[in-house]
Amino acid sequence: MEASDFGERFFWGASTSAYQIEGACNEDGKDPNIWDDFTKKKSKIKNGENANHAADFYHNYEEDLLNLKEMGFKHFRFSISWSRILPQGIGEINEKGLAFYQRVINKCLELEIEPWITLYHWDLPSALQEKGGWANRKIIDWFDEFAHLCLACFGDRVKYWMLLNEPIVFTGAGYLLGLHAPGLKSIPAFLKAAHHANLCMALSLKSLKSKYPKHKFGTTVSLTQIDPINQLPWNVYAAKRIDKILNYLFLYPMMGKGYPVLSFKRFSLLKKYMKAGDLEHMVCNFDFIGAQIYTRQKVKFGLFSPFLNARLVEAPIRGVRHNALGWEVKPQVIYNWIKKLHQLGIKNIMITENGYADNLEPNAAELPIEDDERIRYHNLHLRQVLRAKKDGFPVKGYFVWSLIDNFEWAEGYSARFGIVAVDFKNFRRTIKKSGFWWRDFLLGTA
Ligand code: BGC
């Protein structure tokens, strides 16, 4: 397998997100966001860690972009910290915040790297959370203001945009399970947040597209293959249910198929938050869909989880190969999902995240980390992407998660996804063996 097998126009990139890498949490006029607040709460993050400094991308972006270039990538995905440019979420603009992203974008262009911007990667300004955050329908206007500001400031140099990152994760983990910011455990808040996220994507897409018809807009969804632990009817039922919630709560409405969960007990509450016309408004046509695919989960019926009715049977218990977070390594999943998206009618599929977590720390000698499992992971997944492409499915690009080791949300710094290592004590960067593997693959220097 060679990079050229994917064709001249295939997009090769690496992904990141603002909160996970930037640091500089209160520098140059940035106000707090929900993750700044959440990481202050007790026992929410492994080892009590926070991302006040994260990987200090704020001061090291030039080196990171140079490494990206050296490894042969032509595309860089990053997100905008909302409260860095609009400290209160709406209203007053922070020029210094804008200037930072101008520097990042200009550096990309200087290095002939195409910048791809995710507008929202989970770090809502605290000021907006105080007003209910995603559970407040006004989020549709707040987000639209933020999105238009970004397009007005960066749109002359940035063509590719993603509106939301994995809405099921920030609404589910953030409003239902209490595992992510803002840490709520509320069924009504979750359903409201999910509905507003659906509306927000579709309505902002329409208003952005009418003003910027030549730009390319997408959004990203996390996709997991869900299989029952065995064929017992109640486990099959649990798997189908979880599949609809995790994978289709956002995909179906935008494709005009409505909510796939309305018949589920307690999900019918959603209807209460839907206004006349909402179902039609949620239908939209993104230029591309960012698919973020990591793993397969097996589930069984869970009597004690009345809302979800299902429990995960983790990969380590099943005795199958897994990463440092216990996620099964199952490369066929990426092929299966590309095929399903194609069958759903999606015309441009971009793999905007795929990667492997380990816990190998940088060594004092600054030698490349021997992350052979990560190389194996990317290699096997790429083979499946190529297979999907050869079968005629419209997969147009692949972005590694992640360019650098970073703050892995509730897991803190214990799980490392980077192809470049970061020493979090001094922010020194070292390209890992996997980074050199990518360089050889992309530049054909092997
Ligand atoms: C998210 C990233 C995260 C990665 C690994 C995705 O769900 O977009 O922010 O670090 O998965 O967990």
Pocket flag, ligand 1, residue 353 (CB < 6 Å) = yes
Dig out the tokens for 71 from the structure.
Answer: 């490894």
Pocket flag, ligand 1, residue 169 (CB < 6 Å) = yes
Is 166 catalytic? The answer is: yes
> How wide is the angle at C-alpha 58 spanned by C-alphas 55 and 64, nearest 5°?
65
pLDDT of residue 308: 87
Distance of CA 408 from the midpoint of ligand 1 (Å)? 7
State how far the alpha carbon of 123 is from the alpha carbons of 17, 327, 402, in Å. Answer: 10, 24, 18
pLDDT in tens, 300-352: 999 877 788 899 999 999 999 999 999 999 999 999 999 999 999 999 999 99
pLDDT in tens, 112-131: 999 999 999 999 999 999 99
pLDDT in tens, 385-406: 999 999 999 999 999 999 999 9
Q: Please, what sign has the CA dihedral across residues 124, 192, 179, 13?
A: negative
Q: What is the average pLDDT across 34-62?
A: 98
- Is residue 181 a contact partner of residue 122, using CB atoms and an 8 Å limit? yes
In angstroms, rounded to a whole number, what is the distance separating the alpha carbons of residues 79 and 353? 13
Nearest atom of ligand 1 to the alpha carbon of 406: 10
Mean pLDDT of the chain: 97
In angstroms, rounded to a whole number, what is the distance separating the alpha carbons of residues 245 and 85? 33
419-426's contacts with Cβ under 8 Å and 24+ in sequence apart are 419/14, 419/71, 419/374, 420/64, 420/67, 421/360, 421/361, 421/362, 421/369, 422/55, 422/362, 423/361, 423/362, 424/53, 424/55
Q: How many of the other CB atoms lie within 10 Å of CB of 251?
A: 20
Is 328 catalytic? The answer is: no
- By most ligand atoms within 8 Å of CB, the mutation choice from 409, 414, 419, 422 for ligand 1 is 409
Residue of 22, 328, 353, 408 marked catalytic: 353
Pocket flag, ligand 1, residue 405 (CB < 6 Å) = no
pTM summary value = 0.98
Q: What is the average pLDDT across 285-303?
A: 96
State how far the alpha carbon of 72 is from the alpha carbons of 39, 111, 441, in Å. Answer: 35, 11, 9
pLDDT of residue 370: 96
Q: List Cβ neighbours of 228 (8 Å cut-off, separation of 6 or more).
A: 235, 236, 238, 239, 298, 299, 300
* Residues above pLDDT 70, as percent of the chain: 100
Going by alpha carbons, the residue nearest to atom 12 of ligand 1 is 408
